[in-house]
Amino acid sequence: MPAYSKRKQQILKWFEDNKDAVVTPRSLSVLLDIPHDTVKHLLRDLCQEGKIIQISYGLYAHPSFKSSKKDRK
């Protein structure tokens, strides 16, 4: 499972670098060159671990996204 962990770290790094972004699994798959099904599975895992949040169906963001949007209003 080392490739799995490497891809998970790659996704986490992307969210750390793009804290104000909202992304779909398909676009993240294209951006990071990771198979779509793998990205969907990893995003689900990361949501359950609390490392990212699901904004709505099919949209994911860094946990700080919610609080940063509230502060701007």
Report pLDDT digits (tens) over 8-30: 999 999 999 998 999 999 999 99
Give the chain's mean pLDDT.
Answer: 87
In the predicted model, what is the mean pLDDT of residues 22-39? 95
pLDDT of residue 54: 92
CATH number corresponding to 2-66: 1.10.10.10
Domain boundaries along the sequence of the chain = 2-66
Higher-pLDDT residue of 70 and 33 is: 33
- What string of DSSP letters covers the chain? -HHHHHHHHHHHHHHHHTTT-EE-HHHHHHHHT--HHHHHHHHHHHHHHTSSEEEETTEEE-THHHHHHHHH-
The structure's pTM equals 0.81
